[in-house]
Amino acid sequence: GAGVSQSPRYKVAKRGQDVALRCDPISGHVSLFWYQQALGQGPEFLTYFQNEAQLDKSGLPSDRFFAERPEGSVSTLKIQRTQQEDSAVYLCASSSGLGSYEQYFGPGTRLTVT
Amino acid sequence: KNEVEQSPQNLTAQEGEFITINCSYSVGISALHWLQQHPGGGIVSLFMLSSGKKKHGRLIATINIQEKHSSLHITASHPRDSAVYICAAFSSNTGKLIFGQGTTLQVKP
């Protein structure tokens, strides 16, 4: 596809369930970012990959959050034992990484924890 | 105090009005994004700029590096411009995007 895609678009989980959110970046993009956007707020940085290497995970709110990008393309954000405060839109963005600051965003996954 | 602040938070305009959304930042930046987010939709990058001014259709973005301030202008606003507009600064220190809280714009016919 031409853009960044994310799946699922919507996810409802019961508190305590594990969820996995997928991001397909633009083909060939080296850099991949995950952001969390709470209702009515701007996105906040979670983690960053350059190829398969997770270079920065300082934004992950707890050790229940885990992200991987094993082959340097598709990435998965996993949240274990979901809590209500995890309800948010999770955005993925990719960048060519070749000295470019421009990031291309996916449609997001809206997670609701009940 | 947030490192990137936008004003106003909410804005209602009549169709045809000239709109300005402001963004101030307190960190050193390499570039600044203006982004548009429709309800239920993803984020679209409108502009990325590091100096001066850019124009695309009815949208104009300006940045003053010395004053650490950027503005997004919409001329001849239309109801389809209704969306959340987000300013995001690319921190030269951390290499991360720092987002403003967004400005919710509603343009009434």
pLDDT digits (tens, 9 = 90+) for A51-105: 999 999 999 999 999 999 999 999 999 999 999 999 999 999 999 876 677 889 9
A1 touches B at CB < 8 Å: no
Check whether B73 has a pLDDT greater than 80: yes
Kindly determine whether residue B33 and residue A108, on different chains, have CB atoms separated by under 8 Å: no
Q: What is the pLDDT of residues B26-70, one digit of tens each?
A: 999 989 999 999 887 688 899 999 999 999 999 999 999 999 999
B4-19 b/e (C-beta count within 10 Å ≥ 16 → b):
bebeeeebebeeeeeb
Identify which of A45, A56, A108 has the shortest CB distance to residue B42.
A108
Cβ neighbours of residue B35 closer than 8 Å, sequence gap 6 or more: A105, B43, B44, B45, B46, B85, B86, B87, B88
Asked which of A23-32, A46-55, A89-98 is least confident by mean pLDDT, the reply is A89-98
Q: Given pLDDT bands bounded at 50, 70 and 90, which one contains residue A24?
A: very high
Identify which of B48, B96, B100 has the shortest CB distance to residue A102.
B48
| Mean pLDDT over the full length of chain A | 93
Distance between CA atoms of B73 and B54, rounded to whole angstroms? 10
Phi, psi of A93 (to 5 degrees): -140, 150
